[in-house]
Amino acid sequence: MDLTRRRSFAIAAACLLGPRAAWAALHDPALTAPYRALASEPFPVPAIDLSRIKPEFLRREVQGVEAVSREPPGTIVVDPAKHFLYLIQPGGAAIRYGVGVGRSGFAWSGAATVNSKQAWPDWYPPKEMFERQPYLRRAMRKMRLGIGMPGGVGNPLGARALYLWQDNRDTLFRIHGTLEPWTIGSNVSSGCIRMINQDVIDLYERVEPGARVVVLGAPEGVIVTSRGGDGLPPLHQLVRDPGALARGLW
């Protein structure tokens, strides 16, 4: 069997196994190359097992997306329903990333600003998270801003974090990396927007503090949170607690 026939046979067999297996077998370099291991980081960033992620959630440039066409270049637009984050580019283009978003009871939408950004950020879970998941305390230690976890391997904020504020107040919501890249494309977080580490590193390099962030699903300029059965207080109660302003939601 010659090379052409063997390749055709492999493609046909992969298609019979389903789209994810087909994607893992065919390896489009334009989409897979960004997800190799990164050797330049202070902590390991391993290669991503792309067989566990739907190909539509891999980073790519797109054109003519109606949901983002009204925003100027440099704006971040998150579409929670489709699990996409767009970074608007000049000329009507956007870089599209797959994301994980808030699970039931932790969804939010509205407009905010990137107040700051950090590489390998520390994590300070809010007291409500400790109440829901008391086992988390075993992984924490006393740090400068309270009980938390230093940045690095094992930190659920991953390799980068962008901190979102509104009206000069911390919303407690973040765009950050994840230890669980296979959850991209699902509703899984406690309200934050999670990304593959390689993707959030790429976004971090492209976005500066002051950038506008729009999460679709609410009127302009209003952040709306939904409260489920897990006991997370409404946003306005969280931001009234001065000690909570330094803490992020995973």
- Give tens-digit pLDDT for 97-132: 999 986 544 456 789 999 999 999 998 877 777 777
Tell me how far apart the alpha carbons of residues 179 and 194 are, in angstroms, rounded to a whole number: 10
3-class SS of residue 200 = helix
Tokens representing 32 are: 């897979």
Q: Which of 15, 27, 83, 192 is catalytic?
A: 192
Q: What is the average per-residue pLDDT within 194-222?
A: 87
Q: Could you confirm whether 192 is annotated as catalytic?
A: yes
Report yes or no: 249 and 194 within 8 Å, Cβ to Cβ: no
Planar angle of CA 90, 54, 23, nearest 5 degrees: 105
Average pLDDT estimate for 140-151: 85
**Rounded average pLDDT over 182-209:** 91
Residue 187 or residue 6, greater confidence: 187
- For the chain, the structural domain boundaries read 1-34, 36-246
Residue 204: CB partners within 8 Å, gap ≥ 6? 117, 119, 160, 162
Read off the pLDDT of residues 146-156 as tens digits, 9 standing for 90 and up: 888 889 988 98
CA nearest neighbour of 187 among 90, 246, 66, 99: 99
* Highest CATH level, class, for 36-246: mainly beta
Is 15 catalytic? The answer is no
The model scores a pTM over 0.85: no
* pLDDT of 225 higher than 70: no
Where does 167-233 show beta strands of DSSP type E?
169-176, 187-189, 193-194, 212-215, 224-225
Q: What is the pLDDT of residues 27-82, one digit of tens each?
A: 688 888 999 999 999 999 999 999 899 999 999 999 988 777 789 999 999 998 89
Find the catalytic residue in 15, 27, 176, 236: 176
